[in-house]
Amino acid sequence: MRDYNSLFRAASQPASLRLQRLEALRWMERLSHWDPVLTGAVAAGWATEHSEVRLELEAEDAKAVELALINAGIAYAQAPTQGGEAQTPQLRIESQGPTVRLVILSPQQRRNRPRRDRSGLSDERLALAQLKSLLATENDGDVSLAATPLQPGRNR
């Protein structure tokens, strides 16, 4: 996919990727209570305009994340699981921007998460500070969006 993007989407892909990463940053700041990590195509840099923004959250109880979204008035839906993630709760947030998939992992699941994908390639993972740094170096500017963080039971 990386080769395809460089050959056929060299002009549009960087701007599309930046918008997806900015959306990821906005949600990571809002969901900072659950230590979000950006993964997948957007983190790796080969996303298309149709790629989901995939965030992994760490929570003992997935319902706490759902309640925080409900209390903040954020519409979401249960997302179908992908691959071997049958026991992993996933939520999908659709807005005017890219679709955001929240993968909710227990602390143990996150610790045991493979760091390579099925093909053996490194699975890119960006924490909030790493994403901010990446965006700042790409555009040499401030990327803070000043989002209000969601907290369990405190968003009304």
Q: Which 3 state secondary structure label does DSSP give 30?
A: helix
Is residue 149 in a domain? no
For the beta sheet containing 53-58, the strands, ordered from the edge strand earlier in sequence to the opposite edge, are 77-78, 90-93, 100-105, 53-58, 37-39, 125-127
Give the total number of structural domains in the chain. 1
| pLDDT tens-digit readout, 24-73 | 999 999 999 999 999 999 999 989 988 999 999 999 999 999 999 999 99
Q: Which 3 state secondary structure label does DSSP give 128?
A: helix
CA distance 122 to 120: 7
Is residue 154 in a domain? no
Q: What is the CATH number of the domain that holds 132?
A: 3.30.460.10
What's the number of CA atoms in the CB half-sphere (13 Å) around residue 30?
A: 18
Is residue 9 in a domain? yes
Is residue 118 in a domain? yes
Q: Nearest Cα to 57, choosing from 114, 128, 120?
A: 128
| pLDDT tens-digit readout, 81-108 | 866 666 789 999 998 889 999 999 999 9
Q: Quick check: 3 pLDDT over 60?
A: no
pTM of the model: 0.80
